[in-house]
Amino acid sequence: MTMAQHILAIDQGTTSTRAIVFDSSARPVATAQAEFAQHYPAAGWVEHDPEDIWRDTLATAREAIARAGLSAAGIAAIGITNQRETTVIWDRASGEAIHRAIVWQDRRTADTCHQLKADGAGAMVAERTGLVLDPYFSATKIAWILDHVPGARARAERGELAFGTIDSFLLWRLTGGAVHATDVTNAGRTLIYDIHRQQWDEDLCRLLRVPMAILPEVHDNSRLFGTTAPGLFDAPIAIAGMAGDQQAALFGQVCFQPGEVKSTYGTGCFMLINTGDKALTSHGGLLTTPAYRLNGQMTYALEGSIFVAGAAIKWLRDGLGVITHASQTQDLATSVDDAHGVTMVPAFAGLGAPHWDPDARGAIFGLTLGTTQAHLARAALEAVAFQTRDLAATMAADGAVWPAALRVDGGMAANDWLCQFLADLLDTPVERPDHLETTALGAAFHAGLAVGVWSGLDALARTWQRGARFVPTMDAARRAALVSGWQDAVSRTLSRR
């Protein structure tokens, strides 16, 4: 009997759910995707219906397998990658969520975080978790749900409820409620996981009012987590890999050596640099985070998180009607010589690294009667690159070794103009892989390692193929002038709180 050689990756993102079947050469052979509704019940609040996510996950998984011409027996394992920090609490008996999922972008707990900082809790949180006190992370969302759903806190204390980020929720559903677990990369984004001792932290749970009875077990990224429940597919499938989306992309870009870095451009932008077995402490607002753990051996990363990247393009399309499709931004950007003095600071959900200002709001500076849709589109793309440069400069200041090239992925990385502007602004070559679905590929790699489709990291590294390389051409004076204008705009956007 021939062993199955295909891996199904479930990539559950902020605005859509994708399922991709990869072969043993790491090539995508079939894809299915479904967008789902975003809910904005109040200013700065963002929610998802977990049932929408579960429905789309199962439907896209089945569709991708069928499109690949396979049955479940042809799938060696499932790997899951997910939007991180998004918080679900569900009833252990019924499996039903007690509240809509609170999304990573949600800012409703900003006042709680400000108060915790004022009380002096920031230092302990940073020391143990590598994170900053910000509504972005899961713990204050957990407490909010328990405080606002009648009876939920008492039920949580009795062990009747379960918390999970989306990976954990999907694992629970896929195994029919048999497994309540997560991996180190998702646990490390909750504010209550000690990334050095590698366990849930009782002091932080007490501080942030999270009952430990609701927490999942934490495992390596590559292992047998469980098996799909009867009736979901035509045969049981092993679930053998899990990783938060940005760490999955780092793994999918085969950044296995200290100093190798990737930047993913989706709804937000996330840059991670591998720091090996050393958990570097940032002095400039970056996060210290688990990159992956294999066979009990932790690899760490420094991460810069930008809340709005592709979301700004979506706003131009859906909010202003400036464009009808995201791909138009490349033609618009190249149709003008510059942004005509326009600078966009897309702080629609506050500013992430290195500022961590949840109260900042978006602004556009330099508008004149000569401003056109092309200038707005170019300014939105430029803002993504400017924010990336801020992250790169902070990583260098924190002592990370800057690489010979930046590897990019995500939907926006298909934009040649953006990739060239990134190279110019960073004064560093930008490399784009042949296939941009590196987040899903990272989940597939983890699952494939666990079941023997790939023998080790060297085998994974051999699968990476460069699709395009962009070399810097901008002169230093021009670069300095652009960066100065950006920094001035950001300084006028910060909340001063």
Q: Which domain holds residue 43?
A: 6-245
- CA 288, CA 355: separation in Å to the nearest integer? 15
b/e map 26-49, b = 16+ CB within 10 Å: bebebbbebebeeeeeeebebbbe
Domain count, the chain: 1
- CA 89, CA 95: separation in Å to the nearest integer? 9
Q: Is residue 129 part of a domain?
A: yes
Q: Are strands 222-227 and 193-194 parallel, antiparallel or unpaired?
A: unpaired
Q: Is 211 helix (H, G, I), strand (E, B) or coil?
A: coil
Least confident piece of the model among 56-65, 77-86, 320-329: 320-329
Q: Is residue 238 part of a domain?
A: yes
Q: What is the mean pLDDT of residues 414-433?
A: 94
Q: Which residues contact 124 (CB under 8 A, 6 or more apart)?
A: 203, 204, 207
Q: Is residue 190 part of a domain?
A: yes
Q: Which residue has the higher pLDDT, 2 or 323?
A: 323
Q: How confident is the model at residue 496 (pLDDT cuts 50, 70, 90)?
A: low
Work out the angle at residue 268's Cα, subtended by the Cα atoms of residues 496 and 392, and round it to the nearest 5 degrees.
75
Tens digits of residue pLDDT in 146-183:
999 999 999 999 999 999 999 999 999 999 999 999 99
Q: Is residue 173 part of a domain?
A: yes
Q: How confident is the model at residue 1 (pLDDT cuts 50, 70, 90)?
A: very low
| Pair 315, 348: CB distance under 8 Å | yes
Q: Is residue 484 part of a domain?
A: no
Q: What is the pTM of this model?
A: 0.89
Give me the pLDDT at residue 2, please.
45
Q: Mutual orientation of helices 166-174 and 50-67 as an angle, nearest 10°?
A: 60
Residue 84 has pLDDT above 80, yes or no: yes
Q: How confident is the model at residue 497 (pLDDT cuts 50, 70, 90)?
A: low
Least confident piece of the model among 28-37, 100-109, 212-221, 393-402: 393-402
Q: Is residue 355 part of a domain?
A: no
Q: Is residue 110 part of a domain?
A: yes
Give me the pLDDT at residue 473, please.
96
- CA 356, CA 246: separation in Å to the nearest integer? 19
Quote the radius of gyration of the chain (alpha carbons, Å). Answer: 22
Residue type, 134: D
Tens digits of residue pLDDT in 321-352:
888 888 888 888 888 888 888 999 998 878 87
Residue type, 360: A
Q: Is residue 208 part of a domain?
A: yes
Give me the pLDDT at residue 313, please.
87
Neighbour-count burial of 273, counting CB atoms closer than 10 A to its CB (0-12 exposed, 13-18 middle, 19+ buried): buried
Read off the CATH number of the domain in which 203 is found. 3.30.420.40
| Pair 317, 324: CB distance under 8 Å | yes
